[in-house]
Structure 1
Amino acid sequence: MKKPLLSVITVVFNNVKHIERTIKSVAQQTYPNIEYLIIDGKSTDGTLAIIEKYKENIDIVLSEPDKGIYDAMNKGLKLAKGDYILFMNSGDEIYDKNTVATIFKDQAFADIYYGETEMIDEDLINQGQRRHKAPERLDLNSFRFGMSVSHQAIYIKKSITKFYDPQYQLSADIDWILDAISKAKTIMNTKMYVAKYLIGGMSKKRQRQSLLERYQIFKKYYGFFPNLFNHVIIAFKLAFYYLKKGKTND
């Protein structure tokens, strides 16, 4: 059976500290059919020198100014030729060298594959599993109380993807995933860790705006009153988690 082409897209801007880990996690995959694209926002801190070091492992490098992370991600989508799309942005990693090969091994071509995410901090110390665990069965209802699958941990057939909506500056990935789920006919749980996620991104630094965007996105998919009720539950769960753990990472 023909192995599907996976387009892995990395978006980066001035992240010389972490870009090499991300590139190596893609370059070291044992799966033979990967197209790797790096979309750089015209970095000036040495990031491009690291990218140049691995040029033989990268199919496309585009380095030019952009209008933000989702504009850059849309550039990657336009250039990608794969059957499936995976966004693995700078600082994040594919879980281990056999991850992609295991996902596509002896399995029917599902519209979506997903798995669990391990969190790491700036010192690369394991912070455990995300607060929102990957559901046993993924569907639209899975996101009612939060982002149950991170974008690093979901492989989506390109034919059911859309471009990221530029009206959202911090949470367009939620809208993008929910739109794909609404179109998918077959969704497969890999039941394994598939990604490492570097915590502390822009959505954490501008959390209020991120939460407001999430609210509007969830309202679009779930309706006004169900979404309002769901957010009351979210608030209670978040407060309980904060009291228990002392922090939130997702």
Structure 2
Amino acid sequence: MKPFFSIITVCYNSEKTIERTLKSILNQSVNDYEYLIIDGASTDGTLDIVKKYEPEFGERLKLFSEKDEGIYDAMNKGIAKAEGTLIGMVNSDDYYEPDALENMQKKFEQLPESDRKHTALYGMQRQLRNGEEIEIEFVNDRILGEGMICYPTCFITKALYSDFGAYDTLYKSAADLDFLVKLKKTTDTHFVPVYNIISNFELGGMSASGRGAREAARVRYKYGVYSKTRMYYVILQSRIIDFVHFLKRK
């Protein structure tokens, strides 16, 4: 019997953080899930930590470890292997609230049957810096493109990925934005808000960098959210900020 959820964690050399992620899956209030860990051939203790928890997960845990072409290539591998109705992505330095899956399943089952096939649910996210809460973030899909839905809170149907494709691996940090805006602008996807805290997100990483800002600007121009002038302004601004940061490091 296929699971209701497929949860995917992409990781590489994540020994410092992945245990918290694993525990957050084990501590879910519902257990109708498979947990796919897509590891990029880690060379630290990541795999040892994952294997330590295999007895607790049992057959629900599926570990794959091989080199990949980046985070979105790894995510696409996970999606291809996933068998659940709803697919969620939790990063190896982030973690779910204990009732995250329960809240998503309840909301999904409240939807009309006709709306379920092409559905993307999303919720609220606790932002952290060095483990300390900064804010609770929620971005409504009505402004998707200008803003970005908290991606670790997203649960997207397997059918939607099958029908509309997955992540464009030409991007290094904005393929998730590209995918969601594509769904919003060009498909019949139902975006459904869930007003609960779903995930806890550690700030930082490439998407917060100048490169991430430049990729996001190009995505927004591609789908008509930004004018060409605004795109070039954001790109120039991000390069100036990167240069200032470079000077400060010298």
In structure 1, give the amino acid aligned to 2:73: D
Aligned to 1:199: 203
Tell me how far apart the structure 2 counterparts of residues 4 and 231 of structure 1 sit (CA, whole Å). 45
Instruction: Tell me how far 1:25 sits from its aligned partner.
Output: 0.9
2:216 counterpart SS class: helix
Instruction: Tell me how far 1:170 sits from its aligned partner.
Output: 1.1
TM-score, with length taken from structure 1? 0.80
Instruction: Tell me how far 1:222 sits from its aligned partner.
Output: 1.6
Instruction: Tell me how far 1:103 sits from its aligned partner.
Output: 2.1
CA contact (8 A) 1:145 1:231 kept: no
Q: Identify if the C-alpha distance between structure 1 residues 4 and 46 changes in structure 2 by more than 3 Å, giving closer, same or farther.
A: closer
In structure 2, give the amino acid aligned to 1:197: F
Tell me how far apart the structure 2 counterparts of residues 188 and 173 of structure 1 sit (CA, whole Å). 17
Aligned to 2:90: 88
Aligned to 2:222: 220
Aligned to 1:173: 176
Any residues of structure 2 matched to 1:136-155 within 5 Å, and which? 138-139=141-142, 142-147=143-148, 149-155=149-155
Instruction: Tell me how far 1:4 sits from its aligned partner.
Output: 6.9
Q: Identify if the C-alpha distance between structure 1 residues 113 and 4 changes in structure 2 by more than 3 Å, giving closer, same or farther.
A: farther
Aligned to 1:208: 210
Any residues of structure 2 matched to 1:9-158 within 5 Å, and which? 9-56=8-55, 57=57, 58-95=60-97, 97-105=98-106, 106-108=109-111, 110=116, 111-122=119-130, 124-130=131-137, 133-135=138-140, 138-139=141-142, 142-147=143-148, 149-158=149-158
Q: Unaligned stretches of 5+ in structure 2?
A: 238-250
CA contact (8 A) 1:31 1:100 kept: yes
Structure with the higher fraction of residues in helix conformation: 2
Cα RMSD for the two superposed structures: 2.7
Q: Identify if the C-alpha distance between structure 1 residues 10 and 98 changes in structure 2 by more than 3 Å, giving closer, same or farther.
A: same
Q: Following superposition, which runs of at least 4 residues in structure 1 exceed 4 angstroms of deviation?
A: 227-233
CA contact (8 A) 1:112 1:157 kept: yes
CA contact (8 A) 2:217 2:231 kept: no
Tell me how far apart the structure 1 counterparts of residues 168 and 231 of structure 2 sit (CA, whole Å). 23
Tell me how far apart the structure 2 counterparts of residues 3 and 82 of structure 1 sit (CA, whole Å). 6
TM-score, with length taken from structure 2? 0.80
User: What is the count of residue pairs matched by the alignment?
Assistant: 223
